Amino acid sequence: MDIMQDTESGHIRVRDGARIGYSLRGDARSARRYVLLHSLGMDRAFWEPVAARLAWDALVMTVDCRGHGASDKPAGPYTVEQFAQDVHELVGAFRFDDVVIAGASMGGCVALQFAATWPRLTRGVGLIDTTAWYGENAPKNWEERAAKAEAGGLLPLVEFQITRWFGDAFRAQNPEVVARCVNTFLRNDVHAFASTCRMLGAFDGRASLAKVRAPCAIVVGEEDYAAPPEMARALHAGIVGSTLTLIPGARHLTPLETPDIVIAELSKLAA
């Protein structure tokens, strides 16, 4: 079997000239193909615990979303539609079709947009720790976070972030995971981070829910207060035939906190 456990990485230049970073690993001959999108402030390495396992019988693409990781960081404003278009161009460049597209938090917003816009390319959708809409106060709340980053940098946001990312027990037992996430977060370009915050504040994907035709797995941590379970329930109510998995004790970054559960749900979508 043609297994690429040695990851192939590169960039694709999209229509506006920005370069989007990606990595590919797994079985290049497999019909099971995943595209995985990370959360705000992370990069494609976020998915490592999940991608490494899925890659034993699938081809897995992880992506640095615009403004993150090794992708270009053009001036904003950004939109979720633009992020989804970037992914569409990556998928097209590799002639992928029938993909399982999954995203965590911000990446889930992009995955939802992709699945609603290109249903014929979408075999399954994984919406992890995410939402279609952050609520009426979203523009104000996300603007405050963007402005705080622009005024004082990202370091003052770290304590706020880590308590949202992981449950108390996980943080105590896995300091190396927390440290990697903090290091990734602090490497972000402040202006790209702020533009992405404003993008999420403006995002309203509720009309997209009825357009999702592929099987959809919705996963959320029971203690997630960044994208709480009620937001996941709204996704579940709006997407016909979707499943909802509530993970006891987990918070916002379940692909890192409880990868086995996320892997199990994503694997069902590609079966």
Domain boundaries, the chain: 3-135+204-270
Looking at domain 3-135+204-270, its CATH architecture is 3-Layer(aba) Sandwich (3.40)
Instruction: State residue 5's pLDDT score.
Output: 52
Residue 109 has pLDDT above 90, yes or no: yes
d(CA 35, CA 59): 9
d(CA 225, CA 98): 33
Mean pLDDT for the chain overall? 96
C-alpha torsion 248→251→252→258, nearest 10: -50
pLDDT-based confidence at 237, cuts 50/70/90? very high
**Residue 214, CA distances (Å) to 119, 190, 240 in order:** 7, 36, 9
Instruction: State residue 1's pLDDT score.
Output: 36
Q: What is the pLDDT of residues 180-228, one digit of tens each?
A: 999 999 999 999 999 999 999 999 999 999 999 999 999 999 999 999 9
pLDDT-based confidence at 233, cuts 50/70/90? very high
